[in-house]
Amino acid sequence: MSTKGTKKKLNKKKKLARTFLRAMLGTGLICIIAIVSLVGCYNYFFKEEGTSNKPGKNQGATKKEEKLEDIYKNVAVFGVDKDGYRTDVIFVVNFNSETNKVKVLSVPRDTKVTWSEEQKQSLRDLGKGVRTVSKINEMTAYGGIENIRDFTINELERMLGVTIDNYVIVNIKAFNEIVDAIGGVDLYVPQDMKHTDYAGELFIDLKEGQQHLDGDKAEQFVRFRSYPNGDVDRVAAQQVFLRAFADKLLSPSIITKIPKLVSIVFNSITTDINLTEIPQYYQYINNFNGENISFHILPGEGRYEGGASYFFPDLDALDAVIQEVFFDTVPAGQEPVEEEVVIDKEVSITILNGSGITGAAGRARDQLVEQGYTVSEVGNYQTHDVVTTMVIAKDETKAKQFLTYYPNAQITQDETIATDIQIVIGTDIETSVE
């Protein structure tokens, strides 16, 4: 083989390795390994070079003219306990090729679910005892992990109002092996973690501070539960781990670990994703930016009910989260940039009462002084029928800080005023100032 040919082959391997890394990051961390990373692995390890899908010159020209089909997928990812019955880690990954974003929504394992009549009937059909309420992670314990789509996935679809296209199940052994295979992760452990469960063979002993976590310690970190806010803090910690995991996947050292990762994926992860579907992701992975992954948590709170600890979703806040995760239409990089508000408490301020409400200017002064501002003058405006509070400023950028106190205020710039800021109180002051 010529030197040129050898160099070309090495470059090809490096390109495939880089694609593999983007793939692993681009579809949701552990989920990525099971789904998109197989694109590079399948072509790299399991297809002979002579039968690869490399197009000829004419084929390549035709392919460039083809419009890529948009991909919108929701994949549920489950981490199961040692016995493989309970889904102790649950998150739903949304991949949208139109926006080129990946959204990860974590669902606390203690989320309370009320079993539907359809779910109860499915239990009867399986010859199992009927349940009325349980935690969401227990649904597979009662219905069987092999029936995860009929129970847990069905519940996720009902709760979120979206379709779950595929699922990935990672057992704790595979989790440990994956973390060890990438050489562990580095993160800050927020508190001392100590817990012993002989029955579950779980022994947690981690110290607060920056730590290097191998597979065993990573398991301890993600399974620790004794937080001030219970399952909510636990899920937040798991997301910290996922971000650290993603950072490690992007490091150059991962290239040499690809074969071992592939072996774990094929032997230890259960999924209903068809290998033939995976190449459709290939075109998008190469252009994916890891910064386009965002993490979200099902809103709600944990509390006791009937002697059991549950997580109760906040249905009022849930709609906004669902909209953000599953129905975002803004392409990555085109999100509106919020203008930075300049906070300058050294500005000179005059407050004038234009509302006709006795003492309104004095009360406004006291409220701003309490916040650290200095009000040099208080008086009456030329009229007493002002409806909307006005903030007049020599420098308009310094006026916007007062929208915190007067959110409906009208802002104008006037370089001729005596002080830096002139606030004219309107009749809306009673609903504007907290």
Burial (CB count within 10 angstroms: exposed 0-12, middle 13-18, buried 19+), residue 190: middle
Say how many C-beta atoms besides its own lie within 10 A of residue 348's C-beta: 16
Residue 1 pairs in a beta bridge with none
Pairwise CA distance, residues 158 & 113, whole Å: 10
Per-residue burial over 124-136, b = 16 or more CB atoms within 10 Å of its CB, e = otherwise: eeeeeeebeebbb
CA distances from 52 to 9, 46, 128, 265, 280 (A): 14, 10, 48, 22, 16
Residue 429's closest CA among 372, 378, 377, 365? Answer: 365
Do strands 72-80 and 166-171 pair parallel, antiparallel, or not at all (unpaired)?
A: parallel
User: Cα torsion for 137, 139, 145, 148, to the nearest 10°?
Assistant: -100
User: What integer is the mean pLDDT of 387-399?
Assistant: 92
Contact 381, 360 (CB under 8 A): no
User: What integer is the mean pLDDT of 97-101?
Assistant: 87
How would DSSP label each residue in 299-327? -EEEEEETTEEEEEE-HHHHHHHHHHHHS
Instruction: Provide the mean pLDDT of the chain.
Output: 80
Model confidence band, residue 432 (pLDDT cutoffs 50, 70, 90): very low
**What local confidence, expressed as pLDDT, does residue 140 receive?**
95
What are the tokens at 23? 């793939």
Is 307 a residue whose pLDDT tops 60? yes
**What local confidence, expressed as pLDDT, does residue 201 receive?**
73
Is 82 a residue whose pLDDT tops 90? no
User: What integer is the mean pLDDT of 371-396?
Assistant: 93
Percent of the chain with pLDDT over 70: 77
Q: Among 93-97, 238-242, 356-360, 369-373, which stretch is predicted with the lowest mean pLDDT?
A: 238-242
Q: Which residue has the higher pLDDT, 269 or 32?
A: 269
What are the tokens at 68? 């890529």
**What local confidence, expressed as pLDDT, does residue 59 receive?**
45
Model confidence band, residue 283 (pLDDT cutoffs 50, 70, 90): low
Burial (CB count within 10 angstroms: exposed 0-12, middle 13-18, buried 19+), residue 349: buried
Model confidence band, residue 279 (pLDDT cutoffs 50, 70, 90): low
Looking up tokens 């297809």 gives: 47
**What local confidence, expressed as pLDDT, does residue 6 receive?**
47
Structural domains for the chain = 6-50+69-326 (3.40.630.190), 348-432 (3.30.70.2390)
Is 295 a residue whose pLDDT tops 90? no
Is 25 a residue whose pLDDT tops 80? no
Looking up tokens 């469960």 gives: 197
Residue 227's closest CA among 153, 314, 169, 309? Answer: 309
**What local confidence, expressed as pLDDT, does residue 338 receive?**
67
* pLDDT tens string 316-336: 899 999 999 999 999 888 877
Q: Among 36-50, 107-121, 225-239, 245-259, which stretch is predicted with the lowest mean pLDDT?
A: 36-50
Pairwise CA distance, residues 171 & 12, whole Å: 33
Is 40 a residue whose pLDDT tops 50? no
User: What integer is the mean pLDDT of 333-360?
Assistant: 88
Contact 6, 264 (CB under 8 A): no
Q: Among 162-166, 170-174, 343-347, 420-424, which stretch is predicted with the lowest mean pLDDT?
A: 170-174
Pairwise CA distance, residues 38 & 279, whole Å: 9
**What local confidence, expressed as pLDDT, does residue 312 receive?**
94
**What local confidence, expressed as pLDDT, does residue 422 receive?**
96
**What local confidence, expressed as pLDDT, does residue 281 receive?**
63
Q: Which phi and psi (to 5°) does residue 418 adopt?
A: -70, -35
User: What integer is the mean pLDDT of 299-312?
Assistant: 91
Q: Which residue has the higher pLDDT, 189 or 275?
A: 189
Pairwise CA distance, residues 281 & 412, whole Å: 50
Model confidence band, residue 252 (pLDDT cutoffs 50, 70, 90): low
Q: Which phi and psi (to 5°) does residue 307 adopt?
A: 80, 0
**What local confidence, expressed as pLDDT, does residue 21 receive?**
38
User: What integer is the mean pLDDT of 89-105?
Assistant: 89
* pLDDT tens string 149-180: 999 999 999 999 999 999 988 887 888 888 89
